[in-house]
Amino acid sequence: MPDTILGSFPLNPSGGQILTPPLVERDTYGYRIVLEGVLRFGYTGEVFDAVYRWDTGESVPQTHRYLKWTPGVPLLESEDREAHRYVFRIEPGSNLQASDGSVAVGVNPDTFIDRYTIPLSEVERALSGSMTLTVLQFPLAPANPWALVGWVGLPTALVAGGLGVVIRRRMALQGLEPDLLAHLDRIEQKAREARNRLSRQDRRLLPVAERLSALRASALALIRRIQETREARRQFDAVRLNAEIVMLEGTLAALKDPEGRRQAERALEQKRHSRDLLDALGRAETNSTLRLNSIEALLDTACLTLHSARIAAPAAPAEESLCHSLDAEVAAIHEAAREMARCDTLQAALVATLTPSRP
């Protein structure tokens, strides 16, 4: 059975912890916390992900303590240094949750203050990049063995190799609609093509690599947010709401009784407000979906730029310009994510307007 995504949240590079949803029913479910992306500390030029840091000019990474976990650091279950993706597992019976079952994690500015003896304001200005936290839930009970029967006829090499990877990936992304999966597939393919054009020995391209990883992680978080908004909008019947507005408008035009008109006007105002909220949700979803097209176009440009840089003379200005473009796109994705996060407030307001008040 695939893991269930409980939520995906961007970490603030300048500090502050993200609090996960309560990790309850720990006798029944286990939990994983996935951290993906790269941050940069401009004061020294070093970059770091959830586990490792890379000093400028150094090819061998070192572990760090730049993140603060509360109550404690979970078990590192798997790591992918190339993709800067790390999976931590909350073990059953562990004491790594707070009293309400939550886990908090974020950038710890005190580590930089103590290490480099600089003020907090300078640390906050020096930190940039993108890192995403995703919370996964999985059942602790053994999987149904009959689900494995269908695999018996497949060659072992296929299951253990590329086909198994594809299937596991599809299971992990279960719940995304086909068009969002298609966007994600294209973004990952284009990001992979761009990374393939990077030379491991060419350290001047490391900033491009870290930004590609940040862009991919941010795009995935945005895609999941779009899916959540779509599912929320389906709870409301826009066609019926418009029909009720038209009916109330007709009723109001024919009413002569003052009290009846006041009640009809109040109901009509409420229905129009609900329609405005639903339209706002739709616009947020549309704008975020259009942002995915912008990401794909930028990745095409990145591939062409990196290809030109490899076949021609060193082109530092072109690579610097590409870094700026990638940074701007990540910032735009974060703004889109913040807009989608505001949808939670819109959804709550919409539920309130459509819930009959009790006398």
Count of all residues that appear for the chain in the document:
359
**Residue 135 backbone dihedrals phi, psi, to 5 degrees:** -105, 125
Could you tell me if 23 and 102 are in contact, meaning their C-beta atoms sit under 8 angstroms apart?
Answer: yes
Element (H, E) at 77: strand 75-80
Residue 204: pLDDT band with limits 50, 70, 90: low
Are residues 343 and 220 both part of a single domain?
A: yes
Residues 355 and 209 in one domain: yes
60 and 8, same structural domain? yes
CA geometry: angle 347, 351, 354, nearest 5 deg? 135
Show the beta-strand stretches assigned E in 140-237. Answer: none
**Dihedral sign of CA atoms 339, 351, 9, 285 in order:** negative
CB 58 within 8 A of CB 206: no
The total domain count for the chain is 3
Residue-wise pLDDT for 311-334, tens only, equals 554 545 566 777 778 778 777 777
pLDDT band at residue 340 under the 50/70/90 scheme: low
Distance of CA 149 to the CA centre of its chain: 35
| Judgement on whether residues 202 and 317 belong to the same structural domain of the protein | yes
Domain span at 56: 1-141
Q: Distance of CA 353 to CAs 204, 241, 244, 278, 358, Å?
A: 55, 12, 14, 11, 13
**What does the pLDDT read at residue 122?**
92
- For the stretch 148-161, pLDDT in tens is 333 344 444 433 44
Residues 352 and 217 in one domain: yes
On whether both 232 and 300 belong to a single domain, the answer is: yes
Looking up tokens 């961007």 gives 10
Residues 340-343: contacts with CB under 8 Å, at least 24 apart: 340/222, 340/225, 340/226, 340/228, 340/229, 340/284, 340/285, 340/288, 341/225, 342/284, 343/229, 343/232, 343/280, 343/281, 343/284
Q: How far apart are CA 113 and CA 92, in angstroms?
A: 35
Distances (CA, A) of 32 to 96, 242, 310: 12, 43, 39
Residue type, 9: F
Q: What angle do CA 280, 282, 284 make, to 5 degrees?
A: 70
Task: State the pLDDT at residue 165.
Answer: 39
User: Residue 70: pLDDT above 80?
Assistant: yes
pLDDT higher than 80, residue 27: no
- Rounded to whole angstroms, the Cα distance separating 311 from 241 reads 59
Whether residues 183 and 298 share a domain: the answer is: yes
Chain mean pLDDT for the chain: 76
- How do 104-107 and 67-70 pair as beta strands? antiparallel
Same domain, 207 and 123: no
Max Cα–Cα distance, the chain, nearest Å: 83
Are both 57 and 9 inside the same structural domain?
yes
Categorize the per-residue pLDDT at 163 as very low, low, confident or very high, splitting at 50, 70 and 90.
very low
In the beta sheet, which residues pair with residue 86?
35, 79
pLDDT band of residue 140 (cuts 50, 70, 90) is confident
Q: Please check whether residues 347 and 207 belong to one and the same domain.
A: yes
Say yes or no: 230 and 329 in one domain: yes
CB 137, CB 3: distance < 8 Å: yes
Burial 260-276 (b: 16+ CB within 10 A, else e): eeeebeeebeebeebbe
CB hemisphere CA count around 285 (13 angstroms)? 20
List pLDDT tens digits, range 91-132: 766 665 555 678 889 999 999 998 889 999 999 999 998 899
- CATH code at 10? 2.60.120
Q: Clarify whether residues 72 and 48 are in a common domain.
A: yes
